[in-house]
Structure 1
Amino acid sequence: MMKEVYPGIFSLREKGSFGAIKPPENIYVLAGSNGLIFDAGYGHIWTIKRLMKEFLMLKQKYQKQSLPFEITRVLPSHVHPDHFSGLKLLRKYLGVNIVLTQKMADIIKHKRSFIAYYESENPLKEEYQAYSARNLCNAYLRKFFSRIFFKGIYGLSFINKPDDIIEEPSIIDINGEEWALFSSPGHSSDHISLYNKEKGILFSGDNILRSITTWLGPPNSDIEQYVESINTIRNLPHLKLILPAHGSPIENPYERIQQILIHRKERTEQVLQLIQDHSNKGISSNSIIMSLYPTDGKFKHGVARGWVSLTLKMLTSQGLISSRLINNEIRFFPSK
């Protein structure tokens, strides 16, 4: 059901499935004379039909009150599959224009560009896994099944002709109000945020979630960029409400931002401490993950591998650690 999360701003929560693989998604409608849909959700016809039903009810509500209701555009926060797959059907059935940044447009223009951007050319290297028949087979199987998931679970659909390309940063008019669009990479290199200073409202996409930390992993996440983006958001004036792509609105934005920054700092310190504790023989990325998540299963370990790999990459670039291949296993040591 569509819920008014702020006067004139409505959220439709798309149902998820398969747990974290396909989480519930928030699609926001900024209603008015020149409105906008923020994030497009999944690309299945039944999802769009449900959205259209809610959309029509909202339109009728506005018309009964003699209020203007004209939604003209749809803009994704970034082009992970759960955020852009619905774009084509929204344009078809609601008549809205698809608005993308140039980065987004270059990624989702066709299947080849999408795969080239989001699939690592060398996953074993980026995940600090040694070259072995087993690791190569696992990497191939992950790639094979991920392509099936993208199409079947998300309803993936590419956009070779967006209606408008928007600059980063820029000011856009939504219902006669100025909203600032700015780049906020980290979770994804093409990620953007949308902020209204007068209202103090931020659409955060996946960067800031209410009760969980966002996924970070290669090839297109970057922890240092992510922390920089979170600090940029922390410095926004008059921030009062964050509307995330997943979960409930965040009414204590500065407190939540501080929690995220502390969490990232603590995680980096934990990885570095584990490496220092194993300074004689070194420690592998698998052993780091097992030490941090001793009671969790393979799925959790697979998700954690992303941020652990990025942390190892960051610490290496900072000169704090180094790695060596020992017994066909990449092990990490503190730098001398």
Structure 2
Amino acid sequence: MNSIVTAEYSVPDFGELVEVAPGVLWLRMPLPFDLDHINLYILDDIDGWVVVDCGLGNADTRAVWEKVLTGLLAGKPVKKVILTHAHIDHIGAAGWLCRHTDAQLWITAGEQRTAGEYFQLKGADSEYFTATTKGFLHRLGMDDKQSEGIMGIFTGISTLIHPLPENIQALQEDCVITVGNKDWQIIISEGHSEAHACLYSEELGVLISGDQVLPRISSNVSVRPARPEANPLSAWLDSLSRLTRLPADTLVLPAHERPFYGLRGRLTALIEEHRQTLIEVEQACSAPLTVMQLAGLIYKRELPLFNLLLAGGECLANLNYLLAETRVHRQLNDEGVLVFSRSLNQSG
């Protein structure tokens, strides 16, 4: 059960601003996906502005930023750009915005490493990146046509991020950034991405949650080709548990959908949802399954190619979690594809 309460703010049109807390402005940017928007937040720093997340690095996003910078934010400079994480809809326009405004970029070291992967298809490491990624997709059980299609998607994604500036400041766990006269604590969470940063203001009772906590959908938690043995689901569940320490009346400002109250209830629901999925995955492995076979059982519908990649990465995250708990075991079949089976010592 989802026990959230949507905050009573009007949803801004693209390029408009709504104040959701003193000195905290909500800005929406368009996305050309099923999820058609991203929420960005702008903090009043008295003699300037601090931007949290940036949108895609495409013409539509730049046009909205130009409107905002020359209109609603005119008169004070953008001093800092803070990124919650390195997914393309958050980081894409960051390099352009920093160069356009001479702002300093702030991002965790883990997310900066992830950002570097976007440029590997164009650089000296392109052959290694391609071979590594195709090998990963093959082990999931994808065929050559699917693999080639996904590599094409990666190439397209890489065109939606501007190169990052050289002047980068590393965000660290529990560091405090003062904006205006308000302190914002950095809370780093693993799982949805390498080192996702949330911003929490105790004085305002506000959490800028990025993709870590969304009101109605669960963030994708996937194993990535760069770290095929990782256990991101364990890290993500731990990070959700840590956020339950925040006050029950915290106003949550997510990257998608609408601001809401009910943080603890939403965290509990997310944790329980994933616990149930783990049980479902473990039971499905009563017969040996590849990751792609499991994805077909779990999602029960035909998925577009990119969503199939997300589904496969998420299924592998569940399997790696169960593998760490010895609830499943794995082997490579004769075609070099991973096959997972429920451990013999599991019953029920």
TM value normalised by structure 2: 0.80
- Higher deviation after alignment, 87-96 or 264-273: 87-96
Distance 1:10 1:55, change over 3 A: farther
> Could you say what secondary structure the match of 1:226 adopts?
helix
Q: Tell me, in whole angstroms, the C-alpha distance in 2 between the residues paired with 1:289 and 1:128.
A: 14
Gaps of 5+ in 2: 1-15
Structure whose residues are more often helix by fraction: 1
Cα displacement (A) at 1:228: 0.9
Who is 1:244 aligned against?
254
TM value normalised by structure 1: 0.83
1:42 to 56, 78, 84: 56
Q: Tell me, in whole angstroms, the C-alpha distance in 2 between the residues paired with 1:114 and 1:255.
A: 44
Who is 1:66 aligned against?
none
> Could you say what secondary structure the match of 1:307 adopts?
helix
Contact 1:37 1:74 in 2 (8 A): yes
Q: Tell me, in whole angstroms, the C-alpha distance in 1 between the residues paired with 2:105 and 2:328.
A: 45
Who is 2:240 aligned against?
230
> Could you say what secondary structure the match of 2:63 adopts?
helix
> Could you say what secondary structure the match of 2:243 adopts?
helix
- Aligned residues, how many? 317
- Higher deviation after alignment, 134-143 or 221-230: 134-143
1:8 matched to 2:8? no
Who is 1:95 aligned against?
102
Cα displacement (A) at 1:298: 4.3
2:191 to 186, 195, 204: 186
Contact 2:186 2:198 in 1 (8 A): yes
> Could you say what secondary structure the match of 1:178 adopts?
strand
Who is 2:297 aligned against?
291
Alignment of structure 1 residues 242-281 onto 2, 5 Å: 242-276=252-286, 278=287
Who is 1:156 aligned against?
161
Alignment of structure 1 residues 298-309 onto 2, 5 Å: 298-299=304-305, 300-309=307-316
Alignment of structure 1 residues 98-247 onto 2, 5 Å: 98-108=105-115, 111-112=119-120, 121-122=132-133, 124-125=135-136, 128-129=139-140, 135-151=143-159, 155-219=160-224, 222-237=232-247, 240-247=250-257
Cα displacement (A) at 1:54: 2.6
Gaps of 5+ in 1: 64-68
Task: Give the residue type in structure 1 aligned to 2:265.
Answer: E
Task: Give the residue type in structure 1 aligned to 2:292.
Answer: N
Cα displacement (A) at 1:203: 1.0
Cα displacement (A) at 1:180: 0.5
Contact 1:108 1:160 in 2 (8 A): no
Contact 1:187 1:207 in 2 (8 A): yes
Higher relative contact order (CA 8 A, sep 6+): 2
Distance 1:216 1:52, change over 3 A: same
Q: Tell me, in whole angstroms, the C-alpha distance in 1 between the residues paired with 2:299 and 2:115.
A: 35
Cα displacement (A) at 1:161: 0.2
Distance 1:52 1:238, change over 3 A: farther
CA RMSD of aligned residues (A): 2.9
- Higher deviation after alignment, 286-295 or 313-322: 286-295
Distance 1:195 1:19, change over 3 A: same
Q: Tell me, in whole angstroms, the C-alpha distance in 1 between the residues paired with 2:57 and 2:338.
A: 40
CA-to-aligned-CA distance 1:1-34 (integer Å, 9 cap, x gap): 22222232111111111325xx411111012415
Q: Tell me, in whole angstroms, the C-alpha distance in 1 between the residues paired with 2:339 and 2:114.
A: 34
- Higher deviation after alignment, 136-145 or 199-208: 136-145
Cα displacement (A) at 1:332: 2.3
> Could you say what secondary structure the match of 2:95 adopts?
helix
Contact 1:217 1:307 in 2 (8 A): yes
- Higher deviation after alignment, 264-273 or 232-241: 232-241
Who is 2:322 aligned against?
315
> Could you say what secondary structure the match of 2:261 adopts?
coil
Task: Give the residue type in structure 2 aligned to 1:99.
Answer: W
Identity of aligned residues (%): 20
Task: Give the residue type in structure 1 aligned to 2:179.
Answer: I
Cα displacement (A) at 1:77: 0.4
Who is 1:26 aligned against?
39
Contact 1:197 1:239 in 2 (8 A): no
Distance 1:289 1:112, change over 3 A: closer
Q: Tell me, in whole angstroms, the C-alpha distance in 2 between the residues paired with 1:189 and 1:74.
A: 19
Contact 1:223 1:314 in 2 (8 A): yes
Task: Give the residue type in structure 1 aligned to 2:50.
Answer: L
Distance 1:112 1:288, change over 3 A: closer
Contact 2:30 2:60 in 1 (8 A): no
Contact 2:192 2:220 in 1 (8 A): yes
CA-to-aligned-CA distance 1:204-225 (integer Å, 9 cap, x gap): 1111111111112121671111
